[in-house]
């Protein structure tokens, strides 16, 4: 446990000094600031106004940015450290591989989740100062959704880092993974379905297997409980899960994907050449 | 103590280590030499349990891959290229000390002896230190704990003569109960440090020779050099070796650490046309100043 925390601390300090972290924090803090500056809390969409409107927009933007940010920065720093000889030296110290790998994940998780969460907290603080009502239930669920999203893509990033032997290859693979998930979002699947190329059941199954789509649908479900925007697919999803069931699924399934990917990554890391 | 048995390692179709069998005993000081691509670094990484391999590697009967904590807890490692760590120096020291079950004060003490004052640089990122400072700190981390095996890749390459001298002294203090594996491209860099030479080429051991050196790691040589004319480059080199100018830049006197004498003579050989008189005589272990003894005519066989 001591080794795990030491490694996590090491990764946190390394990340805090890295440029990507400064840009990352600036992006998410900036999004919230900009949403307030442009008066989003005063606009109304589907009956949503105030902070809930801002949070809906924030999570939609975060869903677009966070996965690729987490994937690229994770594979860049992990594969980059290996290429630069950091692993050669630090893994010559008596640290267990399990503590090293999971400690790195823990440290990185803290570093990628805190700015995103911090931006949410910032939004709430501004709302409180401006006497805007805070939708606490939405805040808690969105926070959980962001936490799960970060864990999911961090796990995938660590798996890619364990597989790829160079930074270039790792970055390329991360980009391809992100593009593939993007390709199987509802809008594209809907198009394919309309053309009659795949059955609706298959399209819905693919959508449910895609963590990016799972987050998107869960975020939609908060302000559109009947999932009207999804069209006929909504019937399948709601019949299968119900709204509450789907909200739970959206937290559990990506966590399993992230943990599964990280565990596979660890097994590959443990059995292969370390530096 | 260290045992390699039919060790083989391939990267895709390239065989980098080919059926290496070696035994290195306690207190042996081994120079691992060979050109680039000979397999030295790969052998070291196998020993550190960082690579998977065919065959067996063990340190005191333990597998470095399967029993990492036990094995690596007894190995001090100095890499050839310092890692580009962004963490502050203090954190690197604390991290290493915590993992190696030693006190940061021990690392500070060794760094101090090597001429590296850690106090002003504790908050600086490791990567921002100069090459020499990084090397001294990595040596301090390797020596600041109870290591039974020292694995060093070109350890003195970035050290100034004074730090090299202290580095040799530090190794001399441990030579009876520590096994040393020192990797280098050139034998003359490490020859005086070792009592066994293993040369690698194309992944095989092509030479395994024991060498005798009558000069101990802490031995010193008094040296006096007279030159024919004043030469600024020579004066700069002499000052770098902490020599004293005895007469208008024409006569120089100083002390050369025993293990560094080959390197010193390599340096002076560049000025052979300039040198009028050269004497080098052993002054024994631990002497810190040039003794008042006649120097000429006592040259020791090197």
Q: Tell me the pLDDT band of A97, cut-offs 50, 70 and 90.
A: very high
- B125 in A contact zone (CB under 8 Å): yes
* B residues 148-167 lying closer than 8 A (beta carbon) to A: 151
CA distance B66 to chain A (A): 10
Looking up tokens 């001298």 gives B165
| In the predicted structure, residue A193 carries a pLDDT above the cut 70 | no
CA B257 to chain centroid, in Å, comes to: 13
Tokens of B19: 């059926």
Return the closest-CA partner of residue A66 out of A138, A186, A146.
A146
- A83 in B contact zone (CB under 8 Å): no
Where is pLDDT greater, at B159 or A49? B159
| In the predicted structure, residue B186 carries a pLDDT above the cut 60 | yes
What percentage of chain B has pLDDT greater than the value 70? 92
What is the per-residue pLDDT for B287? 42
For B134-165, give one letter per residue: b (16+ CB within 10 A) or e: bbbbbbbbbbbbebbbbbbbbbbebbebebbb
Average pLDDT over residues A121-142: 85
Looking up tokens 């520590």 gives B178
Distance CA(A139)–CA(A141), nearest Å, equals 6
Where is pLDDT greater, at A82 or B262? A82
Yes or no, beta carbons of A14 and B48 under 8 Å apart: no
What is B220-282's CATH number?
A: 3.30.70
Where is pLDDT greater, at A164 or B193? A164
| In the predicted structure, residue B289 carries a pLDDT above the cut 50 | no
Domain with CATH 3.30.70 in chain B: 220-282
What is the per-residue pLDDT for A49? 61
Looking up tokens 């040259």 gives B299
Nearest CB neighbour to A6, from listed B48, B84, B98 = B98
Chain B contact probe: residue of A94, A96, A98, A275 with most B CBs at under 10 A: A94
Average pLDDT over residues B125-141: 93
| In the predicted structure, residue B54 carries a pLDDT above the cut 70 | yes
- A87 in B contact zone (CB under 8 Å): yes
Residue by residue, DSSP assigns A149-182 as HHHHHHHHHHHHHHH-SSHHHHHHHHHHHHHHHH
Q: What is the ipTM of this complex?
A: 0.76
Average pLDDT over residues B52-80: 91
Q: Tell me the pLDDT band of A48, cut-offs 50, 70 and 90.
A: low
- B69 in A contact zone (CB under 8 Å): yes
Q: Tell me the pLDDT band of B251, cut-offs 50, 70 and 90.
A: very high
Beta strand B29-33 pairing with B196-201: parallel
Q: Tell me the pLDDT band of B290, cut-offs 50, 70 and 90.
A: very low
| In the predicted structure, residue A36 carries a pLDDT above the cut 50 | yes
Yes or no, beta carbons of B77 and A89 under 8 Å apart: yes
CA distance B77 to chain A (A): 7
Yes or no, beta carbons of B79 and A84 under 8 Å apart: no
Domain with CATH 3.40.50.300 in chain B: 2-210
Yes or no, beta carbons of B50 and A272 under 8 Å apart: no
Where is pLDDT greater, at A75 or A242? A75
Looking up tokens 């599964």 gives A260
- A272 in B contact zone (CB under 8 Å): yes
What is the per-residue pLDDT for A222? 74
Yes or no, beta carbons of A87 and B45 under 8 Å apart: no
CA distance A107 to chain B (A): 14
List chain A residues with CB under 8 Å of B83.
84-86, 88-90
Nearest CB neighbour to A92, from listed B48, B52, B69 = B48
Range picked from A163-172, A257-266, B172-181, B276-285 for highest mean pLDDT: A257-266
Yes or no, beta carbons of B85 and A86 under 8 Å apart: yes
Of A15-19, A211-215, B37-41, B289-293, the range with the lowest mean pLDDT is: B289-293
Instruction: Please give the C-alpha separations between residue B72 and each of B64, B163, B165, in angstroms, as whole numbers.
Output: 7, 26, 27
| In the predicted structure, residue B207 carries a pLDDT above the cut 50 | yes
- B81 in A contact zone (CB under 8 Å): yes
What is the per-residue pLDDT for B300? 39
Q: Tell me the pLDDT band of B301, cut-offs 50, 70 and 90.
A: very low
In this structure, what are the phi and psi dihedrals at residue B196, rounded to the nearest 5 degrees? Answer: -155, 140
Mean pLDDT of the residues in chain B: 86
**Collapsed DSSP state (helix, strand, coil) of residue A225:** coil
What is the per-residue pLDDT for A44? 57
Q: Tell me the pLDDT band of B299, cut-offs 50, 70 and 90.
A: very low
List chain A residues with CB under 8 Å of B52.
271-273
Residue by residue, DSSP assigns B82-122 as PP---SBHHHHHHHHHHHTT--HHHHHHHHHHTT---GGGT
What is the per-residue pLDDT for A14? 83
Return the closest-CA partner of residue B223 out of B161, B279, B272.
B279
| In the predicted structure, residue B192 carries a pLDDT above the cut 90 | no
* A residues 203-262 lying closer than 8 A (beta carbon) to B: none
CA distance A169 to chain B (A): 17
What is the per-residue pLDDT for B291? 39
CA distance B8 to chain A (A): 14
Return the closest-CA partner of residue B235 out of B254, B220, B222.
B254
Q: Tell me the pLDDT band of B297, cut-offs 50, 70 and 90.
A: very low
B196: left (phi over 0), alpha (psi -120 to 50) or beta: beta
Of A103-117, A200-214, B89-103, B192-206, the range with the lowest mean pLDDT is: A200-214
Global confidence as pTM: 0.80
What is the per-residue pLDDT for B298? 39
pLDDT digits (tens, 9 = 90+) for A228-260: 766 666 677 777 788 888 889 999 999 999 999
Instruction: Please give the C-alpha separations between residue A119 and each of A11, A13, A42, A65, A102, in angstroms, as whole numbers.
Output: 22, 20, 19, 14, 26
Nearest CB neighbour to A92, from listed B77, B85, B87 = B77
Yes or no, beta carbons of A85 and B86 under 8 Å apart: no
| In the predicted structure, residue B177 carries a pLDDT above the cut 50 | yes
> CB contacts < 8 Å between A and B, how many?
84
What percentage of chain A has pLDDT greater than the value 90? 33
- B115 in A contact zone (CB under 8 Å): no
List chain A residues with CB under 8 Å of B138.
89
Average pLDDT over residues B211-218: 67
pLDDT digits (tens, 9 = 90+) for B69-124: 989 999 999 998 899 888 899 999 999 999 998 999 999 999 999 999 999 999 99
Residue by residue, DSSP assigns chain B as -EEEEEEEEEETTEEEEEEEEEEE-TT-EEEEE--TTSSHHHHHHHHTT-S--EEEEEETTB-TTTSHHHHHTTEEEE-SSPP---SBHHHHHHHHHHHTT--HHHHHHHHHHTT---GGGTTSBGGGS-HHHHHHHHHHHHHSS--SEEEEESTTTT--HHHHHHHHHHHHHHTTT-EEEEEES-HHHHGGG-SEEEEEETTEEEEEEE---SS-TT-EEEEEEEESS--HHHHHHHHHTTPEE-STTSEEEEEEEGGGHHHHHHHHGGGTTTEEEEEEEE--TT--S--SS--TT-PPP-
Yes or no, beta carbons of A94 and B73 under 8 Å apart: yes
| In the predicted structure, residue A47 carries a pLDDT above the cut 60 | no
Of A163-167, B41-45, B204-208, the range with the lowest mean pLDDT is: A163-167
What percentage of chain A has pLDDT greater than the value 70? 89
Q: Tell me the pLDDT band of B17, cut-offs 50, 70 and 90.
A: very high
Nearest CB neighbour to A17, from listed B69, B71, B125 = B125
For B238-254, give one letter per residue: b (16+ CB within 10 A) or e: beebebeeeeeebbbbb
What is the per-residue pLDDT for A43? 58
Please give the CATH topology (third level) of the domain spanning B2-210: Rossmann fold (3.40.50)
Longest pairwise C-alpha distance within chain A: 59
Average pLDDT over residues A156-176: 92
Mean pLDDT of the residues in chain A: 84
| In the predicted structure, residue A165 carries a pLDDT above the cut 50 | yes
Chain B contact probe: residue of A6, A7, A83, A92 with most B CBs at under 10 A: A92
Tokens of A202: 């298959």
Distance CA(B217)–CA(B219), nearest Å, equals 6
Of A187-201, B206-220, B221-235, the range with the lowest mean pLDDT is: A187-201
B52: left (phi over 0), alpha (psi -120 to 50) or beta: beta
Tokens of B261: 């004498």
Yes or no, beta carbons of A92 and B72 under 8 Å apart: yes
Chain A contact probe: residue of B17, B45, B135 with most A CBs at under 10 A: B45
Longest pairwise C-alpha distance within chain B: 63
Average pLDDT over residues B169-177: 84
């Amino acid at each position: 446990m001591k080794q795990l925390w030491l490694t996590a601390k090491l990764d946190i300090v390394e990340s805090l000094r890295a440029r990507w972290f400064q840009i990352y924090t600036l992006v998410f803090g900036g999004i919230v600031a900009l949403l307030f500056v442009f008066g989003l809390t005063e606009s109304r969409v589907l009956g949503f106004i105030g902070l809930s409107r801002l949070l809906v927009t924030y999570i939609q933007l975060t869903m677009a940015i966070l996965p690729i940010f987490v994937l690229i920065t994770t594979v860049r720093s992990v594969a980059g450290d290996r290429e630069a000889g950091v692993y050669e030296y630090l893994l010559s110290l008596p640290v267990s591989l399990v503590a090293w790998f999971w400690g790195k994940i823990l440290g990185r998780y803290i570093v990628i989740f805190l700015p995103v969460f911090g931006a949410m907290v910032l939004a709430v603080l501004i709302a409180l100062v401006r006497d805007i009502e805070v939708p606490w239930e939405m805040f808690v669920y969105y926070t959980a959704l962001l936490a799960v999203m970060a864990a999911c893509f961090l796990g995938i990033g660590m798996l890619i880092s364990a597989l790829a032997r160079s930074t270039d290859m790792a970055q390329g693979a991360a980009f391809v993974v992100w593009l593939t998930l993007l390709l199987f979002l509802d809008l594209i699947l809907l198009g394919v379905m309309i053309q009659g190329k795949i059955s609706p059941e298959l399209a819905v199954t693919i959508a449910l297997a895609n963590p990016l789509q799972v987050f998107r649908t869960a975020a939609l479900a908060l302000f559109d409980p009947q999932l009207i925007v999804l069209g006929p697919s909504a019937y399948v999803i709601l019949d299968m899960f119900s709204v509450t069931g789907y909200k739970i699924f959206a937290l559990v399934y990506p966590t399993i994907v992230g943990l599964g990917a990280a565990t596979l990554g660890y097994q590959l890391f443990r059995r292969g050449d370390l530096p | 103590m260290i045992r390699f048995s039919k060790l083989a390692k391939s990267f895709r179709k390239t065989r980098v280590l080919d059926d290496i069998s070696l035994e290195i005993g306690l207190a042996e000081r081994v120079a691992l030499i060979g050109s680039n691509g000979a397999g030295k670094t790969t052998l070291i990484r196998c020993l550190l349990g960082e690579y998977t391999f065919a065959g067996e590697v063990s340190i005191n009967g333990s597998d470095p891959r399967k029993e990492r904590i036990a094995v690596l807890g007894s190995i001090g490692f100095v890499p050839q290229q310092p890692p580009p760590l962004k963490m502050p120096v203090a954190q690197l020291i604390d991290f290493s000390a915590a993992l190696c079950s030693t006190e940061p004060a021990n690392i500070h003490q060794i760094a101090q002896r090597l001429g590296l004052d850690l106090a002003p640089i504790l908050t600086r990122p490791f990567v921002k230190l100069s090459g020499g400072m990084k090397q001294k700190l990595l040596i301090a981390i390797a020596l600041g704990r109870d290591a039974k095996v020292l694995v060093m890749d070109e350890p003195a390459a970035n050290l100034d003569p004074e730090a090299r001298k202290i580095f040799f002294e530090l190794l001399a203090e441990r030579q009876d109960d520590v096994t040393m594996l020192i990797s280098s491209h050139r034998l003359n860099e490490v020859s005086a440090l070792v009592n066994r030479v293993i040369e690698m080429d194309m992944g095989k051991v092509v030479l395994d020779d024991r060498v005798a050196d009558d000069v101990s790691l802490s031995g010193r040589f008094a040296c006096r050099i007279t030159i024919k004319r004043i030469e600024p480059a020579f004066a700069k080199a002499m000052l770098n070796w902490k020599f004293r100018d005895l007469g208008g830049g024409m006569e120089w006197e100083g002390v050369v650490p025993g293990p560094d004498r080959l390197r010193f003579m390599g340096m002076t050989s560049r000025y052979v046309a300039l040198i009028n008189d050269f004497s080098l005589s052993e002054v024994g272990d631990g002497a810190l100043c040039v003794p008042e003894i006649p120097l000429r005519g006592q040259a020791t066989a090197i």
